[in-house]
Each structure stands twice: as C-alpha cells, then as structure tokens.
C-alpha cells in the first residue's frame, strides 16, 4: 500500500518576515526573539507578518539566549508499566500547565541504564530531572548527586535512596502495608504470607536477617516489608520466615513462592501481595492449588486497577495516587527551578485501602 | 520533613575549558562544537580539559548549527492508558537505539488539544511527529497536513484518518474483529452482541445507518465494527440493531448497553467487547444480571493483559502488538527523516486471538 510522495514546503525565515513587514532583519529578529526594545507599531507589523506567513518562534534560539529549555527529564523503570504510565501522565499534565515539556526514558531497574539516561538528559540541557531511581544506596547514585552539584535540580519520585537527601515525593509504603496487614489481622488472621520479600540467595531465618536483606532492596519494597513486620509486632504475632517469599520479582516466581507457602503443613490463612505481578502470581497459585478466595485464603493486593473490581470475587486492594505522585513531583521540581524553595522536602502521599470481597475470617483455612 | 539546602556548583564554561587547555576561547568553542577545523594536538588538549572539568557539549548549540534536535514528538490520547503506554515504550526503545529522544503529549481524544500539541512540538523544532490522531476526517486534520507541508514528517500510529494519505502503522482492526466474531460463530453462536458501536443520538435500525454513523467514529472503532458485520455476513447471519451498543465510550455506558441487551426477550448468547473498558463493563453487566460466562453467555474481549488470564474463568482476548506498533512507527519516521524513503507506506500488523475459557457453545443461553 504505497502512494504519492509529499513535497515539504520550507518554513519561512526571519528575513522573509522582515521583508513582508517592511522592516530590517535585525528589527524582525529582535521582535520575534523577545529581546531588545521595539516600538509598539513595529511590533504589531512584524507579528502580523509572522502570523500571515506562519513563522514560528524558534524555541532553540530562545533557549540559547535564556539558558532554559523548558524541558524536564523523567527517568522511570518502565514507561509501559501502568503504574509509571500513571505517574508520567501526572507529570505531563502538570508540566503542560506550567509550559514545560518532558522527555521520558526507561531504565528497566538497571542502574547503568539510569546513569546513561541521566547523562543524556543533562547533555540535552533539561532544566531539571524527575527520577524513580533503581539505585539502592548513595554509593550507586553518584550520577544523581553529580547532576544536583552541577546545577540540575532533581526530584526523586516513588523511591528515596538510602543515605541521600533530595527533594522526594513518595507514597507512605510502610503505612500502606501496615494498614493492609492490620486489616487482615482484624479479621482474625495470624498466619499472613508476604509476597514479595527481598531477594536472597538463601531464605532468611530471622527478622534481623530479613531486614538486612531488605537494605539491599528498592526503597519501596523495604518499606512495605517493614510495614508488614510492624503490623505483626503490634498484634504480638511471631514472625515466621516461611511466610515471606524471597524469590526474584516476577509473576512466575511469585506464583512459585505462594505455591510453596500453600503446601506448608500449617499454611497461611491470608496473603498480602505488594505489587500487581505479585497479586497475579498469588491468584494463579491459589487457583492451581485448587483453593478459592476468600473461602480458603484471604488476599489483599497492591496497585488497584479496574480489573481487580471485576474479578470474581472482587479484590481488596491498596490504591496508589499515581497521578498525584507525578503532579507533586513536577510541582516540586518546577518550584525548585524557579528558585522558590531553599530547603529539601519530602512529600509523603497516603494510599487508600479499597475494600471489596477478598478478605474474610480464617474459618476454613488450613490451621 | 525538611532538611539542609544544597549548593549547586555552576557548570564549567567554554572559557574555563579554553583557559585550562591553554588555547583561545574561539578555538575551544570550535573544538567542542564540532565545527571549523582544529589540529589534532589542539583537539586532544581541549577534549582532555573538557573531560577534566566535566564540560558537556551543549546539544542546543549543535542543534542550532545542524537544524536537527534529534527529538521526536509523540501525540497520543492518554500516556496513562496501558495501551498507549505500551506503544510509547516501543517508540522509546527504538528511538534510544537510533539516538533520538521523544517528547510525549496526551490529548484525551480532543482534536483541539491535539492541534495545540502538534503546534507546540513543531515550535520545539522536533524532527518529526508520531500521532495517534483523534481526527475523524481530513477536514479536522489540517494541523497534520500543515506540519507535513512545512517539512515536519508525520507518521500516524494506531489510527488512519479518512481521506488523508500519510505514513501509517496500524493493527488490522477489521480482521481482528472478524476473526473473533467468526470464532464465536464457529461455536454455534448466531446472536452476538457488539460492545461498543458508534455513538449515535438515536439507535441505528439498519446496517447502512450504522455504517454511516461509523464514518464519524475513530478509524479503529469503525474498522472493528466492519469486521463484526463481515463475519455475520460471511455466515449468513442477519444483522440485528438491538445487538450493537451506541452509547458513549466508557465503562459505565458499556455496562448499561450490555444490561439492555441481556434484558431482551431473545438475548445474545455471546458478546464481543472491542476495548478494555468495554470488556470490564460487559463483565459487570453479566454479573449484575445474575449470569455466568461462558455458561450463560460467551465473551471475547480486546486488549489482552495479565488480569484477563487470572480472572476465573480466564478470558479469551484479542492481543495487540503494542510495542511493535511503537517500534515500527518510530522506524518509519526516522527513515523518513533520514530521507531514505520517498513513498508513503501503510504497515498493518496482525493481532492474535488468545483462546482461554470464556467461549463455549450457546447451550444454555436465552434462545
């Protein structure tokens, strides 16, 4: 299916606008570039001619003189992931209102890719950066420190970095997890599986080993684990290492991890799954084990979405304010660029537990 | 939570690099800007000094001299929608390999917003545009024709525009729908509901009225309707206007539309839902009517996703190659920018019907 070629007409030049307006080229350039002084009558003539010819101000030229590109760099794990897509939409909406554009790059949670992305964006002279960093600790985040030191403001979104102190917009992951697990406990559950915990070579046997492993996990994952442990502790429930998965973070390993728990002599009566893929893996494991929820096991998942409401029975889910995360990060960054803020701040947004029908008491479960 | 302020160090200037290299400013600028001629020894000295001081080539300066920004503009309905997020990820991956960045804007299917987005991106001097246009016909797409005429190449993605002839990358929507409906017919269904048809003030009563209405719908929606009608026609099944929804396109109206069909004296025995929200609306209506699938009614949805596989029973779905759509669109556009192609082309990608467990024969249904 091929057809005729198109013939691009060239864009009008400043000289053509000047000629049409009956003024000199320098005058037209001053008028359209927004620098120097031009009389009102001349300005009107030049602007009318520019409009008539379809001349467009060259933003590159403007950027060269102001040093601003009105562009923000955004670095996330995966723009194709619905969570980050929502965050980016929030950033994009806010930026549009403030006259900024965004350039988005994905890192697939790879610090080396993140490093190149930040370098590329700084080389593009973005006015600032929003980063959902894959860096676990300050040592692996020198690219971010370097950007800030060289005058490119950075706002971290979704994750803080241990040992680094930047403007940050987060959800309260620890509290989200604590409230979800407390909700299960309030229904009578005491054996509650956690999907997923930090990836380890061999399963941790104590809380301290687990917490040490969590120090090497993403900020958000570590926080959710702490929230789970806090809820158990507050209710005097002893930690059982068998009830935490420590497999790689993907749907299949989540399923295997939950299958292992469901085969325990004293299996969990409830599960808390901390991400969409963990939730899907858990659902698959429950079904493959010939069990039903909430009859045999209760379940709370993370990252609410329309499908969780139509699954039968519909799932009780933690809902994250993705758009707001993005909007706030963009707001913090543009305020920082405008020089309106001197001190670092950490914005912590709340989540909501959407109660549906996947939680009940542990009546029939395997205890 | 606020903490100490950071002190941005300013980026080194060309003059500082020149001084450190022991050369004049003009020589340093020539070396770092990649224009004019510079001896090898001088070049080495300047580049070493630039590296030592952390000087970064100003891409804006390069853009000013080459006229290229190495940036593509991407205009989609909603970057937060999983379908477009997948397309954008595909564009982004391809662009990364070819040294391009993308700036993405969302239009919410609003032609006026699309018009501003295209204007903004042209003003940013993007090298080309990828647009999933909300324009139904050529008359409302003069912003796209204008961009092409003025020398900004455009590739349409996901939707063609009636009466306009551009580089386009699409999925074969008509064939996707035809095969899905034929799959239902092969299971013995003859009363097959279609969610959603074109929005109309009053329900169309004939095929020709329906097709006339579809001319005012998005390209992809019109094509899916044609595929549905083609499958009926090929099997000699008479069209029944009661079995097509003509409500606004959202989850709630899809649910209302399906509820209306399910209340018909002779209700459909199968449904084909043409988008994720249509599928969710249909599932809700089926459940609210006290029916179960596939026992009482068979169902095929559009836009496969992980949740469709864990819903019980899992859903038979049409799967779209989102990443490939994006990759191909970026490839077409960059080839066009590089001047490697003279003729317009339309790339049509195939879909896959993922068979799961939501389709069976019409044994128990309401006929």
- Pairwise CA distance, residues A215 & A40, whole Å: 63
Under an 8 A CB cutoff, do A311 and B308 touch? no
| Per-residue pLDDT, B5 | 36
Helix, strand, coil fractions of chain A, as percent rounded to 5: 45, 15, 40
Q: Which one of A9, A61, A85 has the shortest CB-CB distance to B79?
A: A85
What CA–CA distances, in Å, run from A316 to A83, A180, A183, B277, B280?
18, 9, 10, 20, 17
Q: How close B343 comes to chain A (CA, Å)?
A: 5
Nearest CA in chain B to A10: B150
**Interface with B, mutate which of A94, A307, A326, A332 (most B CBs under 10 A):** A307
Q: Give the lowest-confidence range in A307-316, B7-16, B71-80, B167-176.
A: B7-16
Answer yes or no: CATH 3.90.550.10 is held by domain B71-170+322-349. no
Q: How close B149 comes to chain A (CA, Å)?
A: 4
Under an 8 A CB cutoff, do B11 and A151 touch? yes
Given a cut of 80, whether residue B63 has pLDDT beyond it is no
Under an 8 A CB cutoff, do A106 and B92 touch? yes
pLDDT 10s digits, B225-257: 999 999 999 999 999 999 999 989 999 999 999
Contacting residues of B for A2, CB less than 8 Å apart: 343-346
pLDDT band, residue A340 (cuts 50/70/90): confident
Domain boundaries, chain B: 14-66, 71-170+322-349, 173-321
Element (H, E) at B98: helix B82-98
| Per-residue pLDDT, A5 | 36
Nearest CA in chain B to A59: B124
| Per-residue pLDDT, A36 | 56
Q: How close A29 comes to chain B (CA, Å)?
A: 15
| Per-residue pLDDT, B7 | 32
Contacting residues of B for A75, CB less than 8 Å apart: none
A·B CB contacts under 8 A: 196
- Pairwise CA distance, residues A232 & B193, whole Å: 50
| Per-residue pLDDT, B33 | 60
**Interface with B, mutate which of A95, A282, A303, A310 (most B CBs under 10 A):** A310
Nearest CA in chain A to B107: A93
Q: How close B306 comes to chain A (CA, Å)?
A: 7
Q: Which one of A6, A64, A78 has the shortest CB-CB distance to B89?
A: A78
| Per-residue pLDDT, A344 | 86
Given a cut of 80, whether residue B128 has pLDDT beyond it is yes
The residues that bridge with A171 in the sheet, in sequence order, are: A349
Nearest CA in chain A to B66: A60
Given a cut of 80, whether residue A217 has pLDDT beyond it is yes
Given a cut of 70, whether residue A285 has pLDDT beyond it is yes
Among left, alpha and beta (phi > 0; psi -120 to 50; other), residue A143 is alpha
Handedness of CA B174, B178, B181, B183 (dihedral sign): negative
CA A315 to chain centre: 23
Nearest CA in chain A to B113: A96
Question: Among the CATH numbers 1.10.260, 1.20.81, 2.60.120, 1.10.10, which is that of A14-66?
Answer: 1.10.260
**What does DSSP assign to residue B237?**
P
pLDDT band, residue B262 (cuts 50/70/90): very high
Average the pLDDT over B36-59 and give the result. Answer: 72
pLDDT 10s digits, A143-168: 999 999 988 999 999 999 988 889 99
Under an 8 A CB cutoff, do B4 and A71 touch? no
The residues that bridge with B193 in the sheet, in sequence order, are: B271
- Pairwise CA distance, residues B273 & B252, whole Å: 14
Nearest CA in chain B to A69: B60
Nearest CA in chain B to A304: B307
pLDDT band, residue B41 (cuts 50/70/90): confident
Q: Give the lowest-confidence range in A7-16, A26-35, A269-278, B28-37.
A: A7-16
Please indicate whether residue B198 or residue B181 has the higher confidence score (pLDDT).
B181
| Per-residue pLDDT, A259 | 98
Given a cut of 60, whether residue A63 has pLDDT beyond it is no
| Per-residue pLDDT, A8 | 34
By the 8 A CB rule, do B53 and A53 touch? no
Contacting residues of A for B343, CB less than 8 Å apart: 2-5
Under an 8 A CB cutoff, do A287 and B312 touch? yes
Contacting residues of B for A278, CB less than 8 Å apart: none
Domain A71-170+322-349 and domain A173-321 have a common topology:
yes
Given a cut of 80, whether residue A58 has pLDDT beyond it is no
- Pairwise CA distance, residues B1 & A15, whole Å: 55
| Per-residue pLDDT, B27 | 82
pLDDT 10s digits, B294-330: 999 999 999 999 999 999 899 999 999 999 999 999 9
A270-273 and A192-195 beta bridge pairing = parallel
**Quick one: fold of B173-321?**
Rossmann fold (3.40.50)
Average the pLDDT over A35-63 and give the result. Answer: 69
pLDDT band, residue B224 (cuts 50/70/90): very high
Closest to B323 in 3D by CA, of B117, B127, B93: B93
Q: Residue B265: which residues within 8 A CB-CB, separation 6 or more?
A: none
Cα three-residue angle B261-B267-B269, rounded to 5 degrees = 110
| Per-residue pLDDT, B10 | 55
| Per-residue pLDDT, B57 | 58
pLDDT band, residue A76 (cuts 50/70/90): very high
pLDDT 10s digits, A4-23: 333 334 566 778 888 888 88
Given a cut of 60, whether residue A75 has pLDDT beyond it is yes
Contacting residues of A for B58, CB less than 8 Å apart: 125
Given a cut of 60, whether residue A60 has pLDDT beyond it is no
Write out the DSSP string of A168-199: EEEE-HHHHHHHHHHHHHHTT---EEEE----
| Per-residue pLDDT, B205 | 85
What CA–CA distances, in Å, run from A350 to A137, A223, A333, A364?
24, 14, 20, 34
pLDDT 10s digits, A194-203: 999 998 888 8
Query: Among residues of chain B, what percentage have pLDDT more than 70?
Result: 89
Under an 8 A CB cutoff, do B102 and A102 touch? no
What CA–CA distances, in Å, run from A245 to A182, A202, A292, B207, B252?
19, 11, 21, 56, 38
What CA–CA distances, in Å, run from A141 to A63, A110, B111, B269, B353?
29, 12, 42, 58, 44
Under an 8 A CB cutoff, do B123 and A280 touch? no
Under an 8 A CB cutoff, do A307 and B305 touch? yes
Q: Is B167 helix (H, G, I), strand (E, B) or coil?
A: strand
Please indicate whether residue A198 or residue B52 has the higher confidence score (pLDDT).
A198
């Amino acid at each position: 299916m091929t057809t005729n070629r198109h013939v691009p007409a060239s864009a009008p030049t400043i000289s053509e606008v000047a000629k049409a307006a009956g003024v000199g080229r320098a005058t037209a350039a001053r008028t359209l570039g927004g620098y120097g002084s031009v009389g009102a009558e001349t300005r009107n003539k030049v602007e009318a001619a520019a409009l008539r010819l379809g001349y467009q101000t060259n933003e590159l030229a403007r950027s060269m003189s102001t040093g601003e590109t009105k562009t923000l760099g955004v670095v996330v794990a995966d723009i194709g992931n619905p969570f980050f897509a929502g965050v980016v939409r929030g950033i994009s909406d806010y930026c549009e209102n403030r006259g900024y554009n965004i350039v988005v790059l994905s890192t697939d949670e790879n610090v080396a890719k993140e490093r190149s992305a930040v370098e590329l964006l700084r080389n593009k002279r973005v006015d600032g950066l929003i980063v959902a960093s894959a860096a676990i600790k300050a040592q692996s985040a020198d690219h971010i420190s370097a950007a800030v030191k060289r005058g490119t403001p950075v706002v971290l979104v979704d994750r803080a970095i241990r040992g680094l102190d930047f403007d940050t917009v987060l959800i309260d992951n620890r509290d989200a997890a604590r409230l979800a697990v407390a909700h299960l406990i309030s229904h009578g559950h005491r054996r509650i599986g956690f999907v997923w915990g930090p990836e380890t070579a061999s399963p941790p046997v104590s809380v301290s080993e687990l917490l040490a492993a969590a120090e090497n996990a993403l900020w958000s994952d570590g926080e959710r684990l702490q929230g789970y442990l806090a809820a158990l502790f507050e209710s005097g429930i002893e930690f059982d290492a068998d009830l935490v998965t420590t497999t790689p973070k993907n749907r299949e390993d989540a399923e295997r991890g939950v299958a292992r728990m469901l085969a325990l002599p004293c299996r969990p009566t409830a599960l808390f799954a901390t991400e969409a893929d963990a939730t899907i893996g858990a659902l698959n494991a429950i079904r493959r084990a010939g069990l039903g929820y909430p009859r045999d096991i209760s379940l709370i998942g993370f990252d609410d979405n329309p499908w969780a409401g139509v699954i039968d029975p519909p799932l009780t889910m933690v809902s994250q304010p993705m758009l707001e995360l993005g909007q706030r990060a963009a707001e913090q960054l543009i305020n920082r660029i405008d020089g309106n803020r001197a001190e670092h701040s950490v914005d912590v947004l709340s989540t909501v537990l959407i109660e549906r029908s996947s939680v009940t008491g542990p009546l029939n479960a395997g205890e």
